[in-house]
Structure 1
Amino acid sequence: MASGEPVQITVSMWSWEGLARLAFIAQQFGYEYADLQLSGDKFALFIVPDPSQQARERAAQNRARYPDASDGGSLPPVVPDAIDLLKARMVVDSGSQYTDKLRMGLLVFVLTTFAAAIGFRLRADTGAVVIVGIVWAALMSLLPVVLVISRRYRAKHTAQLLAAGFTPVTDRSGRLRYVPPGGQLPGHGNPFAGGA
């Protein structure tokens, strides 16, 4: 980040809270959250320089207050409300990356592969085939439940963003994103704007 260039952070072990904290700290040093996308079995977090005067002033103040931050020293205190909003943006952004139809197809593929792996471990006798068939059917019956829970989770976070004054906009790739009050899509012409 010291170079002032866009940054992509790829993580496999994650939590919404941890990713939101990471983006929040980046904001304290002159960056802004741009996007969160699922890439294979990992998440890619995109942060870009924030060219606003307020961001530059905040970054200069925090660099002076926390000179050892880049070496593992103390960091600016976390603001829980800001973390909650970043988390909501990340949930909505990652949820809008795929359509429900594509998400269903991916889940069918993953669960079928999982059931096949169980069958492989049990060997290919008749009993194993029956067990794998039952496990596969049980997993498939859970798909609608998973999709409903996912939609409700995204709807809850979308409502949180709207209540905070965020505006829905469609980015260049056709994804529905939410812009902070008085803001625009992150990146301001940067290569990570509107997704990478």
Structure 2
Amino acid sequence: MSKRQIRKMLRLMATGEPVQVTSAMASVKKLARLAFIAQQFGYEYADVRQGGANNSSLMMLIVPDPSPHARARAAQNWAQYPNAGDGVSLPPFVPDALELLKARINFDLTGKGTEKRMLVGAVGVTVGSAVVAVQGGSGALLWGAMIWVFFMGVFAFVFFFNRRRNAKFAARLQAAGFTPVADESGRVRYLPPGAQPPGHGNPFAQPHPPQSYAAQPYAASPQMYAPAPQPHAPAYPQPYAPQQPPYPPNPYGQPPTQPPTH
């Protein structure tokens, strides 16, 4: 994670739109650190998914956080770190918060949805092995059985390893007050205290596509390296300022007199 990556993310956050960050090296630690910075300036981690060639990249979605607490925190941090746009002058990382973000990202990547995909894969291997055994020549039955046993062993190991790992993440999130919520597809996710349950459908499928950039320097656009202007504080609603009265104030402190009537 470099200051250019942070600077680009903050510039995209200034639009007030959802922002998609891509880690070409599939680094959960890097995405957690970027999500922590986003939280300090009015955004919140929303979801993560695999993508790119052979699913070798991770794509994280962050969205504006409209809660009063998040708005107050962002206003305070912009006031305390007005030069955050340089990618260096940032609030310090909080280890416990980073661990929670890593737990959320890991759980979203390898939760119940992954288990379902593994079960589908196991069914596919079973069908493929049966086809090899039936349509092959001499010894095909043995080869089909060997293929099935090998892949079933791999699936079983990965399945139980992920389940044990996710149980650890779930326990950590529940201890911090996060709530498990299932979406319409049955996918379970842990939401922070006070957060709204996820809406229907894919959170990445926004009405307006999220602003996105790659978290790897070599995958970013050239504009990413151009010096960025200093960001201004987010446009939070300002306290109501009463307009000036239409007439000059009375220097004697008395209300204006009514003109005499005839």
TM-score normalised according to structure 1 size = 0.73
Deviation per CA, 1:51-110, whole angstroms, max 9, x where unpaired?
A: 01111121122122222222223211111111111111111111236342423556999x
Kindly indicate which of the two structures has a greater share of residues assigned to helix. Answer: 1
In 1, Cα distance between equivalents of 2:60 and 2:176: 22
Aligned to 1:156: 168
**C-alpha RMSD over aligned residues:** 3.0
Looking at CA atoms only, which structure, 1 or 2, has the larger radius of gyration?
2
Aligned to 1:83: 98
Unmatched 5+ stretches in structure 1: 110-133
Q: Counterpart of 1:100 in 2: which secondary structure?
A: helix
In 1, Cα distance between equivalents of 2:31 and 2:118: 22
Unmatched 5+ stretches in structure 2: 1-12, 125-145, 206-262
From 103, 113, 117, give the equivalent of 2:118: 103
Aligned to 2:17: 5
Aligned to 1:119: none
The alignment-based identity, stated in percent, is 54
Task: Choose between structure 1 and 2 for higher RCO, CA contacts under 8 A separated by at least 6 residues.
Answer: 2
Aligned to 1:28: 40
The 10-residue stretch of structure 1 (158-167 or 24-33) with the greater mean CA deviation from structure 2: 158-167
In 1, Cα distance between equivalents of 2:112 and 2:22: 16
In 1, Cα distance between equivalents of 2:35 and 2:111: 19
TM-score normalised according to structure 2 size = 0.56
Identify if the C-alpha distance between structure 1 residues 191 and 175 changes in structure 2 by more than 3 Å, giving closer, same or farther. closer
Deviation per CA, 1:128-183, whole angstroms, max 9, x where unpaired?
A: xxxxxx99986764332122111111111011111112111112443211121222
Aligned to 1:53: 68
Identify if the C-alpha distance between structure 1 residues 107 and 34 changes in structure 2 by more than 3 Å, giving closer, same or farther. farther
